[in-house]
Amino acid sequence: MLTTEETRRYSRQMQLPEIGLKGQTKIAAGRVVIAGLGGLGSIGAYYLAAAGVGHLRLVDRDRVALDNLNRQILHASADIGRSKAASAAEKLTRLNPHCRFEAIETDIGYGNVEALIEGCNVIFDATDNRATRQVLNSASVKKRVPFVYGGISGWEGTASTFIPGQTPCFSCLFPPMAETVEAEPPPALGPTAGLVASLQCLDTLRLLIGLVPRLAGRLQQFSGSTMEFRTLPIDRNPHCPVCSRLQCPSSP
């Protein structure tokens, strides 16, 4: 399945007994949709491409702006004004020509989300707003595709992994709210995004190779100002408007 060049490229991670040739072959067969190519998506897409995930669908509606570049390290100064999805696909192709990258410049909404996640094993959330996460979560629950969530604000970061039918969903944790006026964008620091996206990548790789994702059913919080991690269990909301009708074996 893997070429000699690929076996050499991934040899250091294939030394891990959990990966080996079998796991690497699963990673190569993996398809992940990355929703957002900003601070989280830059690092998420880069590590997943470097690890050899076979197919990455890169979705972002935005174009690169100067004030993105303190954290969105997949893009460079010369990319200002370009589509983030196209800029990302170009850099990732340069990094790993063995992977397939699909650049899609679009908004994510209820009308197109199911098409955007079609055929994918994992939804990698790298968006910057709760409304889009609700859209992704509803498709995750409906189509039973795991949803790996990450968010940052300044020094603070959070991450969790939602497995339809097994864990609470994103909407159990953050109930959908009525649309509100978009607030000012929060402060954003590159290393916080890098750390949260790295946690998301670890769970994404675990999902692809068939290991239990460690953030399933728990919310991982990190503060870059105190350098402390905190883990909170997440309870399923029996009245959750998104997943309450779905059979949930782990619930009482």
Binding footprint of Zn ion on the chain (CB under 5 A): 169, 171-172, 240, 242-243
- Residue 137 CB, nearest approach to Zn ion (Å): 8
In angstroms, how far is CA 249 from the centroid of its own chain? 25
- Residue 131 CB, nearest approach to Zn ion (Å): 16
Taking the C-alpha atoms of residue 6 and residue 96, their distance in angstroms, rounded to an integer, is: 10
DSSP state of 167: S
- Residue 93 CB, nearest approach to Zn ion (Å): 37
Nearer to Zn ion, 193 or 240 (CB): 240
Please give the C-alpha separations between residue 84 and each of 55, 87, 149, in angstroms, as whole numbers: 18, 5, 20
Nearer to Zn ion, 140 or 192 (CB): 140
Nearer to Zn ion, 107 or 235 (CB): 235
In angstroms, how far is CA 109 from the centroid of its own chain? 17
What are the structure tokens assigned to 131, written together?
């409304």
Nearer to Zn ion, 23 or 213 (CB): 213
Nearer to Zn ion, 52 or 217 (CB): 217
Taking the C-alpha atoms of residue 252 and residue 250, their distance in angstroms, rounded to an integer, is: 7
Taking the C-alpha atoms of residue 11 and residue 129, their distance in angstroms, rounded to an integer, is: 37
- Residue 241 CB, nearest approach to Zn ion (Å): 8
Taking the C-alpha atoms of residue 161 and residue 122, their distance in angstroms, rounded to an integer, is: 10
- Residue 151 CB, nearest approach to Zn ion (Å): 17
Taking each helix axis as running N to C, give the angle between helix 20-29 and helix 190-209, from 0 to 180 degrees, rounded to the nearest 10. 110
- Residue 237 CB, nearest approach to Zn ion (Å): 6
- Residue 162 CB, nearest approach to Zn ion (Å): 8
In angstroms, how far is CA 203 from the centroid of its own chain? 9
**Of 229, 192, 235, which is closest to residue 217 (Cα–Cα)?**
235
What are the structure tokens assigned to 245, written together?
């009708």
Nearer to Zn ion, 87 or 134 (CB): 134
Q: Do residues 120 and 144 lie in contact, with contact meaning Cβ atoms separated by under 8 Å? A: no
Nearer to Zn ion, 127 or 140 (CB): 140
